[in-house]
Structure 1
Amino acid sequence: MTDDQYPPAAVGLRERAREAEREGRWAEAEELFRQAVEAGDPVAAYHFGNGLADRGDDAGAETWYRRAAEQGVAAAAFEMGYLEESRGDQDEAERWYRRAADGGDRSGTLNLAALLENRGDLPAAMDLFRRAWELGSDKAAFNLGRLYDDGGEGDLATAAEWYERAADRGNAGAAYNLGHVRRDLGDTEAQVAAWRRAADLGEPKAAYSLAVEFRRQGDQESAATWLRRAVEEFGDATAAGVLAESYEGRGDRDLAVFWRNALYGLGTYSPRFEAFASQGSVAAIHQQDLLGEALGDGYVSFDVDERTLTTGGRTYHGVTLLGSFSDLDRTWLWAWANQHYGDDHPAVGPLRAIREYGRDHDLPELTIGCLNLSGFPQPHQAATTMAIAAGALLGGNGVHSVRINDGRGSVYFHLDDPELPVAAYDPIKAAGLVMRAVEVFPSDHRRVVRGLIAHYGGMIAEAPDVIQGRFPEGHTLTVGFTSDGLVKAITSER
């Protein structure tokens, strides 16, 4: 059906209703939808049903879906079929799905095919899957591939054709199954190519399958790369265990512990991340102090799409969304791994620099999409420390967090706005900043001090019990250490 079949005035009311809904004026939208239906536009009833469903009014949604479906709106017939199927009434579901399919609805055609397959009517199901494919359903092609495949015992050549078609439309599961078919046909190179494609499309099992295949071929380097991707991108616990065993076998117990706990509850950072973060800790703390003073502690609002953060009556630009921490499950989620954003969002794109740095320097905290931090004594603080250390790679003005979900989580932003201050070496604050930094990273005080001097462009002179830095502005920082490497005295001269 097209809008030409309905009275123009009714269609106009429907479009006004949809605009009002998009702009958050639901009461107005509701009245306009009703008027549109009464004026002769059943499609308005379908959209009204969608609006009610979005607001949790399932009974109201069903009333309007039914009204639209009975007047020939195929998409509404699908919704009715889905409702009846969820209630267990297969006969009513079939009746509505057939009306949806007869009206050219892709989802109704697909679900009718699946229903008939479950009943054992494969010829009819396959005909409907073909119709759904012609209507644009990649899932239909996947299902045709699966039926021809028949667990590796069927028509593999035809199965491969249908899996290929589905994969061409972005179906990750089809690309993965295609790899199995290629293997069954004896083409290992095509098998690996299909699984690479599946992993790039987001199929969770593909990365680990590639790791297993490369290990079988004796290519340990490629196997390790895909094990890392299996954990970093898909949270594969089996892959994490294999990585842990691998590091254990090399005698690297710290990294073995990290990978073993990465998905179940980290209690420490990896050794390389600890070194990276501690080296930049003094400068990062100093920058955070300046940012905190500039922003204050008032109410904060943000617009991720516009990359802005507003507080104290001022709006700052250049905002990058780093990620979020949940107090409920104590996990950190990098923004690139958040299904609501992804790599291509303008406020997330800058994080590619962080991920690339993490890959280049083997810092898994910067490459694993979701980290369970529940093993830390203070998981929220661990997330904050990690975000600040990573944010320093972007330059700019530091990291600011905002509580979300009624205080059950926090979202972290990096700011890069010329209106905000950038820290320079401060000889008056240097001693206090060093002591704060070694409290956060107590394992190597000397690294903390070296990192401070290097960050601000100082020349380092080092002896067993002292490190001295001379800065371009003529300032000198001298730090004395105990025999076991702890800071014992700091002198800052101007």
Structure 2
Amino acid sequence: MTDAQYPPAAVDLRERALAAQREGQWAEAEALFRQAFEAGHPVAAYELGLGLLDHGDRDGANAWYRRAAEQGVPAAAFEIGYEEQRRGDLGEAERLYRQAADGGHRSGILNLGVLLENRGDLPEAMDLYRRAWDLGEDKAAFNIGKIHDDDGKGDLALAAEWYERAAERGNAGAAYNLGHVRRDQGDEAAMVKAWQRAADLKHPKAAYSLGLIFRQQGDKESAVVWLRRAVEDFAHTGAAGKLADIYERDGDRDRARFWRDVPYGLGAYSPEFEAFASEGSVAAIHRQDVLGEALGDGDVSFDVDERTLTTGGRTYHGVTLLGSFSHLDRSWLWAWANDHYQDDHPAVEPLRAVREYGRDHGIAEFTVGRLDLSGFPNPHQAGTTMAIAAGALLGGNGVHSCGINDGQGSAYFHLDDPELPVAAYDPLKAAGLVMRAVEVFPSDPRRVVRGLVAHYGSRIAEGPDVIQGRFPDGHTLTVGFTSDGLVGGITSKHDPS
């Protein structure tokens, strides 16, 4: 259908309706769509239906879809056909899908094929799938492959051919099924290759299947990589359990406990997170203190789209939304895993660096989208610690949080605004900061102190019972340790020479 076949006045009204809709003026757009339809433009009825559905009026949308379908709009016939199929009226659904298919509607052709396949009319279904494929519908090739496959009892060569075609167009299910066909054909290498592609296309079972295969082959390193991806990308409970089994057999109880608890509620961090976060803990705590003094404890408002945070009458820029903590189920949700935001949203995009660092260094706390923290003594503080550790990777000024959803949650923001003060080394506060950091990460006090010295760029000297950092401005920090590795004493002095 082209505008040339409709009355010019109707075409003009529709164009004005579309312009109003683009500008967010829905009431005006709705009225103009109605006028365009009444003036003789049936597509306007379909577009009005789309708009009503976007605004939550499904019944109104269906009424206008029907009007458009009655005047020969294929897309509208498809929508009403889908609605009738949902209601269980397969006869009416078939009639409408045929109308859509006759008009060249790709999804109408596909869905008509599915209806016919389900009632056993395979020849016509196959013809329809081929038509849909020729129009670019990858699901049609998947369906053809599945018919040839017949659960491994059919023509596997043809099944592989059609699965491959669909996979080339990004169909994850086809790539995964192709792996099963290759296994049935006895080609394990091709099976692995197909499942790797399926995993890259985000098939929910592919990474787990690869993990199992590599484990069976004795390739523990590859098995761990793919099992972790299954947990990270799809919260796969079985994969977490398999990881726990692998570490348990290796005698690595800390990692085994961590992965076993991931689906049910963490009570401790992973060894990888402990190592990373403890090393930067003194600097992170100091950065938080400086930021807290600058911001105060007043009410907070934020604008994620503008990347701003306002408190104490001042607005700060360079905000990254890190994530949120739910006080209801005591879980942490990274912003990149929040359905309300896209990965490339300007306030979320910086988190890619955190996620990539987590993958490169095996830190699951930075790669698993949602983490149940209910096993920690203080789940809220556990989430805060994760946010602060992530903020350290982004540099800037530190992390600030505020309540959301009437106190049911807390949102966490990283700030990077040049107007905020920088947390420089403070010899008067160093001892207290070390003790606070060791309280948070008590398992390796030496790592905490080494991280402090390295962060502020001093020279380090280390002996069996002491670590000393000599800073460029003449300050020296000396931390002594007891025989069991605890902090025994801290001195800070200034020696200009």
**Cα distance change, pair 228–302 in 1 and its aligned pair in 2 (3 A):** same
Deviations 1:287-312 (A, max 9, x none): 123333444544432344x6x22425
Q: Which residue of the partner structure matches residue 455 of structure 2?
A: 455
Q: Which amino acid aligns with 1:421?
A: P
Residues 233 and 337, structure 1, Cα contact 8 Å, conserved in 2 = no
Matched ranges for 1:92-171 at <5 A: 92-171=92-171
Unaligned 5+ segments in structure 2 are none
Q: Which residue of the partner structure matches residue 303 of structure 2?
A: 302
**Cα distance change, pair 17–327 in 1 and its aligned pair in 2 (3 A):** farther
| Structure 1 consecutive aligned stretches of length 4 or more whose deviation exceeds 6 Å | none
In structure 1, distance between residues paired with 2:7 and 2:166: 39
Q: Which residue of the partner structure matches residue 332 of structure 1?
A: 332
Seq. identity, %:
76
In structure 2, distance between residues paired with 1:22 and 1:403: 34
In structure 2, distance between residues paired with 1:131 and 1:404: 50
Q: Which residue of the partner structure matches residue 323 of structure 1?
A: 323
Q: Which amino acid aligns with 2:310?
A: T
Residues 304 and 347, structure 2, Cα contact 8 Å, conserved in 1 = no
Tell me the TM-score normalized by structure 2: 0.90
Matched ranges for 1:27-426 at <5 A: 27-296=27-296, 297-304=298-305, 308-312=307-311, 316-338=316-338, 346-426=346-426
Q: Secondary structure at the match of 1:493?
A: strand
In structure 1, distance between residues paired with 2:429 and 2:213: 55
Q: Secondary structure at the match of 2:163?
A: helix
Deviations 1:445-490 (A, max 9, x none): 3432332222112234455665443321122334455565444654
State the Cα RMSD in Å. Answer: 2.6
Shift, 1:379, TM fit: 2.2
Shift, 1:315, TM fit: 5.4
Q: Secondary structure at the match of 1:371?
A: strand
Q: Which residue of the partner structure matches residue 442 of structure 2?
A: 442
**Cα distance change, pair 145–409 in 1 and its aligned pair in 2 (3 A):** farther
Deviations 1:297-339 (A, max 9, x none): 44432344x6x22425665554444333334443333344445
Q: Which amino acid aligns with 1:398?
A: G
Shift, 1:425, TM fit: 0.3
In structure 2, distance between residues paired with 1:301 and 1:118: 52
In structure 1, distance between residues paired with 2:300 and 2:454: 36
Residues 175 and 195, structure 1, Cα contact 8 Å, conserved in 2 = yes
Deviations 1:412-463 (A, max 9, x none): 3333333333211012332333333233223333432332222112234455
Tell me the TM-score normalized by structure 1: 0.91
In structure 2, distance between residues paired with 1:41 and 1:187: 56
Deviations 1:126-149 (A, max 9, x none): 212222222221111111111111
Unaligned 5+ segments in structure 1 are none
Worse-superposed segment, 393-402 or 118-127: 393-402
Residues 322 and 351, structure 2, Cα contact 8 Å, conserved in 1 = yes
Q: Which amino acid aligns with 2:54?
A: D
Q: Which amino acid aligns with 1:229?
A: R
**Does 2:14 match 1:17?**
no
Worse-superposed segment, 141-150 or 308-317: 308-317
Worse-superposed segment, 314-323 or 231-240: 314-323
Q: Secondary structure at the match of 1:152?
A: coil
Residues 266 and 374, structure 2, Cα contact 8 Å, conserved in 1 = yes
Worse-superposed segment, 451-460 or 263-272: 451-460
What count of residue pairs does the alignment treat as equivalent? Answer: 492
Shift, 1:341, TM fit: 5.1
Q: Secondary structure at the match of 1:64?
A: helix
